[in-house]
Amino acid sequence: MRFRDGQWNVAEGFRLEYAEEVYRITKTPSGEGISLLCPTRKIMSRGDTLNTGTISVDIEAAFDGVISVETTHWQGAARRGPDFSLFPGGKPEVSSKITKSDKGTTLSSGSLSASVSGKDHTFDVSFHSTDSNKLLTTLLNRSVGLAYTPATSTPMQLADMRNFKHYIFTQTTLSVGESVHGLGERFGAFNKVGQKVNLWNADGGTSSDQAYKNVSFWMSSRGYGIFIDTPERVELEVGSERCCRVQTSVESQRLKWYIIHGPTPREVLKKYSILTGTPGSVPAWSFGLWLSTSFTTNYDENTVNGFLEGMKARDIPVEVFHFDCFWLKAFHWCDFVFDEDMFPDPKGQIARLKAEGTVKKVCVWTNPYLGQASPVFAEAAAKGYLLKRKNGDVFQWDMWQTGMGIVDFTNPAACDWFVGCLEKLFDTGVDSIKTDFGERIPSDDVQWFDQSVDPKRMHNYYAFIYNKLVYEALQKRYGKNEAVLFARSAVAGNQRFPLTWGGDCESTPEAMAESVRGGLSLGLSGFAFWSVDIGGFEGHPPPWIYKRWVAFGLLCSHSRLHGSGSYRVPWTVDNDDASDEGCSATLARWTHLKARLMPYLFAQAQAATRDGLPLSLRAMCIEFPDDPTAWTLDRQFMVGDSLLVAPVFEEDGTAQFYLPKGRWTNFFSGEVKNGPVWFTETHGFATLPLYVREATLLVLGKEGEKRTVYDYAADVEVRSYFAAEGTKAVLVDNTGAEVGVLEVGKDGEIAGKKALKGDYVVTVVSA
């Protein structure tokens, strides 16, 4: 939302008022902060206090290194829900300190401080590190304010607010060279400076400024992050209305956000995960290859069996088979019942597939919408389980499904009913749920069962309660760490319910690059696990795109073959090319590589869930925050701490990538390169730029390993890459429990090998 026309003029149709000075400072009721009373004009005499608005700015210590800032115009405005579920793991103790001097007032919360200038008739709040006074950002003159539209000419008009919109906004300063990242899964430029960003969940594909996963958190290259504590529509002007400021605005009477001090991205993400929740754990089997029927393709039991037999014949292990939309009868989406014409015995079929070993787990597509052609719609409508219009009608439209209604998850009875439907699927043998959609939630002319909620706040928040409900149902049936979603929509906190995928992308190299940017941005928003439609969702990928996407997709944390109107089994892409360069051989090769990487991947996954880090795609700036180039890199990523991946986007196999400072070893050839330098390489379909960071002990499954779940300490290969004293590798079992630690000692020998079993091998790749 732009409130100004350039730097000097107010935008047409708006009236603006700013916090012009700090008139009085008092303690907040909690005693852990300070409250600033800020008139919207400078108070030069007592008469100036009349007919003048004020803005309250409450600055409070949240916990070490985190401070909240809440800006309010009219305190009497109702506080309607829903609200983000903060501190799900418990709130840390708060230790605040308030100091006053002739220079001003400072609130300190551990490593982070906020200082309010003591100059007369001034509004100036700076946020800085407590120990070094390094400036992070500031709220300067005309950086906190309110806006009306249409513009008012007298306060008397506000006796009736029904025809006016009221906004509250803040503007934090951007320093020279500062970049901004995150804000959910965003597919545009990695650095958000210069962009207008609306946090409003939408089904816009991967080639627009809309996003399925809008997360109200952003990371600065300057050593801090900001979490905006509201699920309502947030509009940001990131160095766009004013080039040197990030403006955050909401249509409300209050706006609250938290500033989180790192100083490193790792520390920022760790503290952010304390606020909104650490990522949930995922089982080892979920890291294997997922195969989908695709969306609008024709398929039945024989088609599914043929796919899986074909994959097995081509030595491509499939861990999870996914039934997409048309497992359901047309016009019945989503009534949770297999189409009996196509699948006469789903329970028996699933049992046979598992018994034959062609697949270990099964996933089905669902969404929270009910088409009126299904008997389930009538049942849910009669019992009051569907969202209603203000006049009492069930909310319906013909978008997506004819006459569809939306399950009202603010109704506890509707939640119980929905879980009951899921449990019937679990009884059929279904192990995982693809929770599609959840973005197109109306915010006007609707009445929720819980009438205390604000429909505009429910639009985004619906993704949270929808995915939470399904995830917890899976946990109840299969165990705490065995639950896996495949979700499309998300908000802050959804990282607790893994996992998510990137949505509808095209079958082009540009779309693959868009997907990389989306995964990087979501990772910087606190999500550990992420996947993508390998080959692209829309269109028919040419063989070279398919094979390049296979290499990229198998190095994401999770890997799924999925399309729209065309299948993604490899032999349909290249007329069953049986050569070593064919799609089938390429898919088999990269699937096997991921299986070998599982001892490393699963150990890194445990650290990612503990610390709120992305496993893959991990932005380079997380590992190399002091390298300015790392903050610009949007065509490569880290997998965990030690592996660097640069997907290939060119048909001729060329790839340009950057290696930060240090020695890097090519995983495939053993060639060593020194950074910081840009490199260009040419790759066939069997390789891509995959480099191992120095000071790494990389634990791999044995040569030829094709399974995803096995003993990650037995018969392994331990590769040493310039592993100096203190280099470590954590060993975990296939439940994620730590079973040992390998560590290089002063003598260069590796201690902890007693935890290894069988015929393990230690290879010094680089000395």
The residues annotated as belonging to the active site are 436, 439, 504
- The burial of 394, by beta-carbon neighbours within 10 Å (0-12 exposed, 13-18 middle, 19 or more buried), is given as buried
Q: Are 698 and 692 in contact (CB under 8 A)?
A: yes
How do 696-700 and 654-666 pair as beta strands? unpaired
The upper half-sphere exposure of residue 197, i.e. CA atoms within 13 Å in the direction of its Cβ, equals 30
Structure tokens at 373: 């052609």
Pull the structure tokens for residue 451: 């009438």
The strands making up 738-744's β-sheet, listed across from edge to edge, are 728-732, 738-744, 750-751
DSSP state of 280: P
Max CA-CA distance within the chain? 87
**Across the strands, what pairs with 217?**
227
C-alpha distance from residue 289 to each of 19, 60, 639 (Å): 55, 47, 17
Transcribe 212-267 into DSSP letters: SB--SEEEETTSEEEEE--SS-EEEEESSSSTTEEEEEESSSEEEEEEEE-SSHHH
382 beta partners: none
H-helix or E-strand spanning residue 58: strand 54-63
* First vs last C-alpha separation in the chain: 56
Number of H helices, E strands in the chain: 10, 42
Measured CA to CA, the distance from residue 450 to residue 439 in angstroms comes to 19
The secondary element (H helix, E strand) that includes residue 559 is strand 559-561
Distance CA 416, CA 424 (A): 13
Give SS3 for 64. Answer: coil
What φ, ψ does residue 437 adopt, rounded to 5°? 60, -150
User: From CA 341, how far away is CA 231, in angstroms rounded?
Assistant: 42
Looking at residue 608, the DSSP 8-state letter turns out to be H
The DSSP symbol for 444 reads S
Judged by phi (left if over 0) then psi (alpha if -120 to 50, else beta), residue 745 lies in beta
Which structure tokens are listed for 133? 């006074």
What secondary structure letter does DSSP report for 404?
B
Q: How far is CA 522 from the centre of its chain?
A: 4
Cβ–Cβ under 8 Å, residues 259 and 112: yes
Question: Judging by DSSP bridges, how do beta strands 254-261 and 66-72 pair with one another?
Answer: antiparallel
Nearest-5° angle of CA 329, CA 333, CA 339?
A: 20
Q: How many CA atoms lie within 13 A of 650 on its CB side?
A: 13
Strands annotated E in 298-371: 320-323, 361-366, 369-370
Q: What is the identity of the amino acid at 606?
A: Q
| Residues 215, 491 contacting (CB under 8 angstroms) | yes
